[in-house]
Structure 1
Amino acid sequence: MKELLKSSNWISGLQWLFFIFTNIVVIPITVGAAFELSQETIVSMLQLSFIVTGLACIIQALLGHHRAIMEGQSGLWWGVILTLVNTAVAQGMPLDVLGGSLTVGIIISGILTILIGITGVGPILAKLFNPGVMGVFMFLFACQLVGIFLKGMLGIPFGNVEGEVYIDPAISVLSIVIALLVIIISIKGSTEVRKYGLLIGIIVGWIAYALIFKTESVAGGQAKAFQFELFPFGGPAWDIGIILTVVLTGLLNTANTFGALKGTDSMYGKEATNKQYRNSFTITGFVTGFAGMFGLVPYSPYVSSIGFLNQTGIIKRMPFILGGFMFFMMGIIPAIGAFFSTLPLSIGSAVLFVSYLQIVISSRNFFRIVKWNTRNVYRSAIPLFVGIIIMTMPAYYFNSLPEIIRPLLSNGLIVGITLALILENLLSWDKID
């Protein structure tokens, strides 16, 4: 009780609230826009995201891994879902078929994640994700998300758009200015100011957007408490290619749990136990299954929490729990969800564009452990270059491939990570001098 009443814990909890908010608020808006959902549905999804994320953080801290690590909608899942939408549109697949198959795949992924937790095979899977795999994963992950954010900054709409699409010069200029502002704060700002760089960028950009364009964002709307739609992307469907892609994404998403727990071992002065891994996976699995039914991006521990912990030094659980509770309360109040749904997508994209540039550091740290030479450089070069090249290819290039494998092979992130897993675990590269 004493810890709960400490003002310092509430102040630190407020910092956690800002961090969680900055990472979550754009995700439901962009996904809802990509699936062409109604304004009211997007507002409800945002409101539910606040509630589920707040609860997930609290449950992980109390019953899961017992650490101050944000549990949120996974960036890997987010990037794959937006990429699948763009690919489906280019290949003529109806969005409700994509959404229904996506829902089925996410629910299956949630069940598999629960099984990983219950059976305790997490540490075995961790051995597959060695530094070489994690370096490729982090770099390609950054490439995919930063590419999505850059398009958002340029005013290119998410999802299905009829006719030709062009860059919006006015939106682009404002977005670039906001991105530069956040970068300058990150470089020149004091320690206290840098903590709130992303939040400052959102506030300044949002106000500037409202003054310049005098219009609401794509997601403006109203919501009533607890009126959430089951299967908003479409009823369950069975496109095997999409389902396989989604299930594979779920397995690859386990890398976030390994990265977050391993990355905080030094802060807590001990390695995470098998029980912590089991509990963390089990909780993530349940939340992911729930997310699939209600149109939320699936969850995982946030590797980016490591940067926040390093920057603030707030490693105690109580401030984190308080931050999660405040975020939960934001979702309970409908007016708050409706207000934040008006965040312009271009501004959110600009702020997150800067935020995810930091992933390059994580990729570099993993690659520094890899022993490269002119004979074994292929272990990383092949998955990196193949993944990046596929990302740049138009989706219609893959129309000649069988439908069952088309979603898999047209996704550069999944292809690159899969190649890295195969190459790193089938050959003893360190023995090649």
Structure 2
Amino acid sequence: MTRLFKLDHWFAGLQWLFFLFTNTVVIPITVGAAFHLPQGKMISLLQFSFLFTGLACILQALLGHKRSVMEGQSGLWWAVILSLCYAAPSQGMTLTELGGNLAVGIIMSGVMTIIIGLSGLSEFLSKLFNNGVMAVFMFLLGCKLNAIFLQGMLGIPFGAQTGTSQIDIPVFFLSSFVAVFVIMVSMKASPAISKYSLLIGIIVGWFLYVLLFETEGIDVTGKMDMGLFPLGTPSFDLGIILTVVIAGLINISNTFGALKGTEEIYKSMTTKKQYRLSFTISGLFTIIAGLFGMVPYAPYVSSIGFLNQTKILERLPFILGGGMFMVMGIIPAISHFMAKLPLSVGSAVLLVAYLRLLQSSLQYFAKVDLTTANIYRLSVPLFVGIIFMTFPSSYFDSIPSIVRPLLSNGLLLGILFSLILENVPYRLSSKKQRNEDKNIYMKERDESA
């Protein structure tokens, strides 16, 4: 019992709270804005996001994979939902109709994720995510997320169209200072202080922002408008639902990425039971997300960067952070205060944490024998994914709407190419070669254990 009241655990829990908050707050706001929700429903979406994200983290830590890995609203899902919102008018579909189809597709994906967990299919699927796929996934995810955070550091609102916003130079200088400050604290300070570098950076950056600029927090004041299916009454459009279900299948890469990626940190291989329970809990909260209009859930691969940065591996601070996040969702006054955190400061701190994804990516690259064939398996999805990330959405207007959200997303496309190139030639290879590869996999697993 005395461990619970150690000041060290509460500081670490507070650092987790800020990590959960900065990763979550932008998602429901942008989704609500894309669907033109009234203020009451926006507040409801935000509060539910805080509440259920905190609860999901606690359940995963206690009953699921039992690691300090954030369970939150998936970035892959977020990108697909926003892409569908932008494409809906050109397809003659109202946002309410789109929201109803999304709800049905997300609930179906949640059920599918639970089936993957309970049936043991996760063991088979995990073999598809070999070292080559994981290397590409980690690298592309780092590129995608850090591009978002760098945009926040530049003072450019998320979702701003080309030509509508400009770089805010004073804000960028401050956020750059915060990023450098966090890096220096993590490198130069004693271990007792460096593990709180992210928390220190947020506090210092927030204080300086208040001194130098006018605070522009997110408006979460007003009365909640609670209810099921806030985005639209359930409806059925085959094209939209098919896209959503495919996105749900690709989204499982987050679970494998987060759990495989933390094996080096925790010095243990992920067991069948951990995969089974993790998928089951993620599926449950995905169903909840469909009911309440939220972005579906998955383990956050970016937690690897946080763990490498802070070296805080214990579950208790993570559980405390999740509990405080739940309280924030229950008590609007706390949410109102936390929503004043400048997004540029939060983006700067997260950029530092997510830069560590390069370490995870390079560790997987080091495990790949760089033959000519493997070079192509790595380079094609890597370069195609990165290049497609830079293309404006207008390039894809000529693509059929049923596949446009997938093909216009460089991250999704890169992962798909990697899965195909890494596994299809393997399935077509000789039985002798497959047995040799299996022996190598079993040897690596035994050495890691």
Q: Name the SS for the 1:231 alignment partner.
A: coil
- Residues of 1 paired with 2:214 and 2:5: CA distance? 43
1:109 is aligned to: 109
1:165 alignment partner in structure 2: 164
Among 352, 355, 358, the alignment partner of 1:354 is 352
Task: Show the counterpart of 1:387.
Answer: 385
Q: Deviations over 1:344-401 (max 9, x none)?
A: 3333333333332222222111111111133441101111111122222221222122
Change (3 A) 1:320 1:143: closer
Amino acid in the other structure paired with 2:133: V
Whole-angstrom CA distance in 2 between matches of 1:97 and 1:350: 37
Task: Classify 1:387/1:308 alpha carbon distance in 2 versus 1 (closer, same or farther; 3 Å).
Answer: closer
8 A Cα contact 1:106 1:247, kept in partner: yes
Structure 2 letter corresponding to 1:199: L
Indicate how the Cα distance of structure 1 residues 419 and 121 shifts in structure 2: closer, same or farther if over 3 A, else same.
same
Flag the 1:372–1:158 CA change in 2: closer, same or farther, 3 A.
Answer: same
The aligned counterpart of 2:50 is 50
In structure 2, the CA distance between the partners of 1:354 and 1:167, relative to structure 1 (3 Å rule), is farther
Which residue pairs with 1:130 in the alignment?
Answer: 130
Partner in structure 1 of residue 146 of structure 2? 146
Partner Cα distance (1:5, 1:347) in 2: 29
Matches for 1:232-381 after TM superposition, within 5 Å: 232-236=230-234, 238=236, 240-265=238-263, 270-310=268-308, 312=310, 314-381=312-379
SS at match of 1:228: coil
* 1:98 Cα deviation after fit: 4.6
Give me the whole-angstrom Cα distance separating, in 1, the residues matched to 2:146 and 2:265: 29
The CA distance in 2 between the partners of 1:338 and 1:358, in whole Å, is 31
After superposing the two structures, state which structure 1 stretch, 53-62 or 244-253, moved more: 244-253
CA distance in 1, matches of 2:338, 2:348: 16
- 2: distance between equivalents of 1:108 and 1:221? 31
Give the superposition deviation at 1:313: 5.0
Check the 8 A contact 1:383/1:420 in 2, yes or no: yes
Change (3 A) 1:287 1:157: same
Secondary structure in 2 matching 1:377: helix
Structure 2 residue 404 is matched with structure 1 residue 413: no
SS of the residue corresponding to residue 114 of structure 2 reads: helix
Conserved? CA contact 2:195–2:312, under 8 Å: no
Q: Among all aligned residue pairs of Structure 1 and Structure 2, give the percentage whose two residues are the same amino acid.
A: 59
Q: Which of 230-239 and 141-150 deviates more?
A: 230-239
Deviations 1:13-61 (A, max 9, x none): 4444344334334433444445454454444333222211221122222
Partner Cα distance (2:147, 2:91) in 1:
20
Secondary structure, in 3 states, of the residue corresponding to 1:300? Answer: strand
Q: Is the 8 A contact 1:48 1:228 kept in 2?
A: no
**Which stretch has the larger CA shift, 174-183 or 85-94?**
85-94
Please report how far the alpha carbon of residue 152 of structure 1 lies from its aligned counterpart in structure 2 after TM superposition.
3.0
**How many aligned residue pairs are there?**
428
CA RMSD for the aligned pairs? 3.2
Secondary structure of the residue that 2:157 maps to in structure 1? coil
8 Å Cα contact 2:219-2:339 kept in structure 1: yes
| Cα distance change on mapping 1:144 and 1:318 into 2, 3 Å | closer
Match runs of 1:151-230 below 5 Å: 151-159=151-159, 164-170=163-169, 171-217=171-217, 219-224=218-223, 227-230=225-228
Structure 1's 415 and 34: CA in aligned 2 closer, same or farther, altered over 3 A? Answer: same
State the secondary structure of the residue aligned to 1:167.
coil
Which secondary structure state, in structure 2, belongs to the residue aligned with residue 383 of structure 1?
A: helix
SS of 2:372's partner is: coil
Task: Name the stretch that deviates more: 281-290 or 191-200.
Answer: 191-200
Is this contact kept in 2: 1:291–1:298, CA < 8 A? yes
- Provide the TM-score with structure 1 as the length reference: 0.85
The CA deviation at 1:413 is 1.3
Tell me the TM-score normalised to structure 2 length.
Answer: 0.82
The alpha-carbon deviation at position 64 of structure 1 amounts to 1.8
Structure-2 change in CA distance of 1:244 and 1:380 (3 Å):
farther
Rounded to whole Å, the distance in 1 between the matches of 2:79 and 2:197 is: 23
Relative to 1, partners in 2 of residues 1:6 and 1:245: Cα closer, same or farther, differing over 3 Å? same
Q: Which residue of 1 aligns with 2:65?
A: 65
Task: Check whether the contact 1:185–1:194 (CA below 8 A) recurs between aligned residues.
Answer: yes
Aligned partners of 1:342, 1:90: CA distance in 2, in Å? 36
Counterpart of 1:231 (choices 229, 232, 235) is 229
**Are 2:43 and 2:221, in contact at CA under 8 Å, matched by a contact in 1?**
yes
User: 1:334: Cα distance to partner?
Assistant: 1.3
**Structure 2 vs 1, CA of residues 411 and 245 (structure 1 numbering), >3 Å: closer, same or farther?**
farther
Contact 2:12 2:196 in 1 (8 A): no
Bigger shift: residues 405-414 or 11-20: 11-20
Tell me how far apart the structure 2 counterparts of residues 181 and 309 of structure 1 sit (CA, whole Å): 19
For 2:180 and 2:51, locate their aligned partners in 1 and report how far apart those are by CA, in whole Å: 32
Aligned counterparts of 1:404 and 1:150: Cα–Cα separation in 2: 31
Q: Which runs of 5+ in 1 are unaligned?
A: none
Asked if 1 retains the 8 angstrom alpha-carbon contact of 2:282 and 2:298, the reply is yes
Counterpart residue identity of residue 336, structure 1: I
